[in-house]
Structure formats: C-alpha cells, structure tokens
Amino acid sequence: MTLTGMLFPLLRHLPEAPPSRTLAFALNLVRRRLWPDEDFGWLADKRIRFEVADMGRGVTIGFSGIRFRGEAPPADVTFTASFADYWAIARRNADPDTLFFQRRLTISGDTELGLQLKNLLDATDWEPLLALLPFHPRTT
C-alpha cells in the first residue's frame, strides 16, 4: 500500500484547521523567498481554498495584508485537483494551465482572483517550501 493510500483514510476524518494553519505558517516562512517582489495587496482579506478531490478534503488560507493565516470555509475562490496533480504542480512536472484545460484543475468562485492566483502558482518555484518537508519530494 502506498503512503497516500494509508494516509487518505485517516486524513478524511481529521479537522481541516490544523493543515490550513500549517500551510499558512509554511507560506509565511518562505514567502519572501517564493515571491520577493509580491506585496499581495490583491489578496488582502480574501480566502483561497485548495480542495483535494480524491481526499474529499481541503485547506483554506487567507492573507491579512501582512501574513497568511489558516481560515475556515467558505472561500472567495476554490481550486480543486487530485493530490497527484497538486504534487505535479509543486514539482513543476505539470503546469496549472495544462491541468485546467484538461479539466483536472478546476477554479470556482471569483474567477478574476482565481486566474491571478493560478498565474502566480504557475510562475512559482516551490523548492523553498518543499524543502521544509521531512523528505525530499523530487525523489519520492
């Protein structure tokens, strides 16, 4: 059984607040390295949700104007994809545009905000964030 096959059943029963807060904390740690010139004024007081379709779960984060924070749904914009597709985006093995046009990544809610965020995700080198994980994702 794969790691995801073992974790998904457990994760489906856990509250979403801890992973949302963890993602916000990690983004705050690496924000200046990931986006050194981005002020995120366009994201202030907005909520973004990343749904993992094959888990039936997700995380919701917001930006206060100063920092990212874990939030509760609902969100202004929701991205939905499988865990494998999010992982492929993070490792730069797939780009969000391709997955969007293949209907493997969906964006609902505020489409203008969603497209701006999708473009940011597409242009981001995620290595500083991935380096915080306890294993190197390029080799797993």
- Considering the chain, what is the average pLDDT of its residues? 87
- Give the residue carrying structure tokens 């997700």: 58
Rounded Cα–Cα distance for residues 87 and 81 (Å): 10
Q: Is the pLDDT of residue 52 over 90?
A: yes
β-pair type (47-52, 57-63): antiparallel
107 backbone dihedrals φ, ψ, rounded to 5°? -125, 125
Rounded Cα–Cα distance for residues 138 and 12 (Å): 25
For 92-101, how does the pLDDT look when each residue is reduced to its tens digit (9 = 90+)?
Answer: 899 889 999 9
- Give the residue carrying structure tokens 């597409």: 122
The mean per-residue pLDDT over the stretch 109-133 comes to 86
Contact 57, 28 (CB under 8 A): no
Question: How much is the pTM?
Answer: 0.83
Task: Give percent above pLDDT 70 in the chain.
Answer: 86
Please report the pLDDT score of residue 139 as a whole number.
46
